[in-house]
Amino acid sequence: MSDRVAIVGGGHNGLVAAALLARSGREVVLLEARSELGGLASTRELIPGHRVDVGANDLGMFRRSLIDELELQRFGLELIEAPAVAAVPAAEAVVPAAEDGGAVVIWPEAERTAEGLVAACSRDAAAWPRFVAELAEQAASFEPLLGRPPQLADMGRLLIAPGPLRFVSAPLDELLREWFETPALRAALCGLALPATGLGPRANGTGWPLLYHCALGGSDRLASVVRARGGAGGLAEALAASATASGAVFRTGAVVSRIVVDERRVAGVQLADGERIEAGAVISTATPAATFLDLVGAPQLEPRFVRRLLKVKYRGAAARLALSLDDLPPFEGLERPALTGRIVLARDPDDIERAADAAKYGRLPERPWIEAALPTALDPSLAPAGRHLLLATAHHLPFDVEGGRDAAGPELLDRMVAELERWAPGVSGLIREHALLLPADYESEYGATEGGLHHGEMNPGQSLWLRPTAGSWAGDTLPVKGLWLGGAGCHPGGGVTGLPGRTAAVSLLRG
C-alpha cells in the first residue's frame, strides 16, 4: 500500500492539510481542478486591474496557531486588521421616519461600541459589554471542540450546561431581543452570524452561528475583520509556498473523477483523463455530496449512509457583485474607519427574514439582503489609483430560481444595484465596471454544491457530532478506510478557519 496522501481540492483547507502533512514527512500530492489554487478563498481579476475575492474576503477566524506553525508570514502573508467589525448605515435613505435612524458600528473594543450606542439607546449601550462577556463565556464551552473531532464525553458536558444549549437551539432574534432594543444593532449581529446559512433570524438554532463566530474570534470579543494584503488569495499563496518548501506537490488542472476504492479501502484517485494516482490515504475537501456520491459512488456505500447524505441541506446560496467605483460609496452616517468592516444592509432582522422566506419558495427577494465590503478602504492596491472596489454579497438566495438560473442574473443584478442605491444614494453614478458571480457559478466553477459557500447549512442539526451526518465527523468513522473529509462540509464547518483541513491531517497522522 502506498504511503502517498492524495488531497482532492486546492482550497485553503486542502492547502492547510498539505502543508501539515508535508512538514510531518508524508508524501503529498494535491490535485486541483482549476488552474489556480485557493478555491473560494482565491482572488481573481474579474474586473481589469482589480483584485476581486471570489468568496471569502475576511480572514478573521483563521487559526493564528496555523499562521505560526506553518510560518505563513515568512512565506509572504501580510494581514491587515480592520478598525471596524460591522456597521449598519443610517436609515434616512431607507426608512426616513425611523426613530432609531442613526448608524450603528460594532468595533472590536466593547467600550468603544458602547459609547457609540448611547445616542441610539442608553440601555443598549450599558448592555453591550455584558453581552459580549456572556457570549464569550458561552463560546468558550465550544472553542476546544472546534479544533478536533468531538467526543461523546463532550456532548454530555454540554447537555448539562443550560446556557450553551439554549444559545445553540434558540432563534437568534429571540436571544438578541432579550438584550437589545435597537433593531439595527440586532441586524448587525445577525449580519455577522447568518451569511451562507440560508436561515432567517427567527429560525430555531440560529444562535449557533453567532456562537461559532465568537468561539473562533478570541476569548473576549467578536472575531475581528482581517484582510490579506493583495486579497484573500494571499493566504492560499502563503500556504502553497509553505507546503512546497516541505516537499508537497501541487497539480492544477487535474480533475479528479473518482476516488478508487478496493474492498472498502482507499487505493488512490483517478483523473478525468484516465490517469490513476496510487495513494494509501485520501483527504477530500469537496462537499460531502460530491465526495461520496460522485467520487466514491453510492454502490460503495451502505444504503443507510447514502440516505443520510441525501438529507444534508445545502441552503444558503449567495451571489457576489463586484463594482469598480470612482469613489467611496456614500453610506449614510459611516466615516472611512467604519467602512472597513462588514457593512450590513438591514435595519431590522426582519429584512433578513424576508429574504430567507423568498428563497424557501424559489423566488428572488424583492430587496436582497446584502453584506457589503470595501476592501480598498484598507488596501488601495486592490484597484487602480483613484478607484474603489465594492464587494456586495447577496445572501439567502434560492439555487433553483423561478424562471431558470440563467434568467435570474440580470434581474438579480438590477435588484442588487437598486438596493445599494437605497443605502448609498448616488452610488450607481460612481459605477465604472461590474462583475457578477451567481450561485450556479459557485457550483460549476468552485464545486460548492447548490451554491452553498459553507458546503452545507450551518445549523445545530448539521454541526459538531452531526456534520455532515450523524457519526461521520472523523476519518475512522467514515465508511471507507483511508478516506478523510477535510473541507467546510465536515467538522467544524464553514468560514476561513483552516480547522477542517488541520483536523483531517492530524487525524490521518494519528490513525
Side by side, the strands of the sheet bearing 249-252 are 249-252, 28-32, 5-8, 281-284, 483-485
Q: Which of 235, 234, 248 is nearest to 31 (CA)?
A: 248
Tell me which H or E stretch contains 282: strand 281-284
Q: CA–CA separation, 203 vs 188, rounded Å?
A: 17
Grid coordinates representing 294?
Answer: 460522485
Q: Give, in degrees to the nearest 5, the angle at Cα 41 between 260 and 15.
A: 45
Q: What is the pLDDT along the chain (511 residues), one digit of tens a residue?
A: 578 999 999 999 999 999 999 999 999 999 999 999 999 999 999 999 999 999 999 999 999 999 999 999 999 999 999 999 999 999 765 665 455 678 999 999 999 999 999 988 999 999 999 999 999 888 888 888 888 887 767 776 666 666 677 888 899 999 999 999 999 999 999 999 999 888 999 999 999 999 898 888 765 567 789 999 999 999 999 999 999 999 999 999 999 999 999 988 999 999 999 999 999 999 999 999 999 999 999 988 888 888 988 999 888 899 999 999 999 999 999 999 999 999 999 999 999 999 999 988 889 999 999 999 999 999 999 999 999 999 999 999 998 876 556 657 899 999 999 999 999 999 999 999 999 999 999 999 999 999 989 998 888 888 888 888 876 544 445 788 999 999 999 999 999 999 999 999 999 998 7
CA dihedral 313, 474, 487, 86 (to 10 degrees): 70
Cβ atoms within 10 Å, residue 270: 16
CA dihedral 31, 196, 188, 138 (to 10 degrees): -80
Domains identified in the chain and CATH numbers: 5-40+61-79+229-313+455-510 (3.50.50.60), 86-224+315-446 (no CATH)
Q: CA–CA separation, 3 vs 16, rounded Å?
A: 19
> How far is C-alpha 119 from the chain's CA centre?
33
How many residues belong to the chain? Answer: 511
Q: CA–CA separation, 362 vs 357, rounded Å?
A: 9
Q: CA–CA separation, 135 vs 129, rounded Å?
A: 10
> Percentage helix, strand, coil, to 5, in the chain?
40, 20, 40
